[in-house]
Amino acid sequence: MVEIKTDIALEAMRPAGRVVADILTAVRAAAAPGVRLSELDEVARSVLAEAGATSPFLHYRPSFAPTPFPATICTSVNDAIVHGIPSAYRLRDGDLLSIDCGATLDGWAGDAAVTVAVGTPRPEDQRLMDTTRRALEAGIAAAVVGARIGDISHAIGSVGRAAGYGIPADFGGHGIGRQMHEDPSVPNDGRPGRGFVLRHGLVLAIEPMFLSGGHGDYREADDGWTLLTTDGSRAAHFEHTVAITDDGPRILTQP
């Protein structure tokens, strides 16, 4: 069931989005060679606590998961696409780190992600990040009243395919509001003019994921959560929570 939010609800979602933005800012600043992924999760927990917010990631257990998620952020390194669990791994110069986080405040959720280079970026990683970010911008630009979900999907997929990147077929964006994951789903590739019609008050988490190896194949890690590229190629992931309004798309997960 797709929930259309009132204008009051859209305003109420904004504080949760700001907390998400603050988490990403703090975690990005802390991500440096030698830092453990678990330490980044501690940074996120501190931001949540200071804001009086909670994490929709912590203890989340969808049907596919063997265990509840044990952290407040996902930290996916190099060939990890999404859902990486913060561990004792110490970041190294040249690592590619995707940070995905959420926050729940006063009953409303926000969700966003960013990929960063740790230390000195590789040129090919910079291109991957720039392209994935540009795909997010294209998807947001397509999120206008009267368009359809397929228009967002097509905008994202067109950027990725033109760059020669792979797109995992089973994972993409989603509706968001009182819950982190709501209807409708937002694939990262598709045909324009198809799917749910976008209306004022619909809120979506739009999140392209591109794989540098050129195909969308992935495998599940032994932890039951982390998704890895099958060929060891690197991945990037960017996301914003976006409200569709009569005045155009409104990004709720900005500072």
Candidates 229, 230, 237, 223; CA nearest to 65 is 223
- Amino acid identity of 40? L
Q: What is the pLDDT of residues 118-137, one digit of tens each?
A: 999 999 999 999 999 999 99
User: pLDDT tens for residues 2-16?
Assistant: 999 999 999 999 999
CA distances from 5 to 10, 27, 61, 88, 103 (A): 6, 30, 25, 40, 18
pTM: 0.97
Check residue 144 and give its pLDDT: 98
Determine the pLDDT at residue 64.
Answer: 84
pLDDT digits (tens, 9 = 90+) for 80-116: 999 999 999 999 999 999 999 999 999 999 999 999 9
Residue indicated by tokens 């032994």: 222
- Please give the full DSSP string across 142-168, using - where no structure is assigned: T--TT-BHHHHHHHHHHHHHHTT-B--
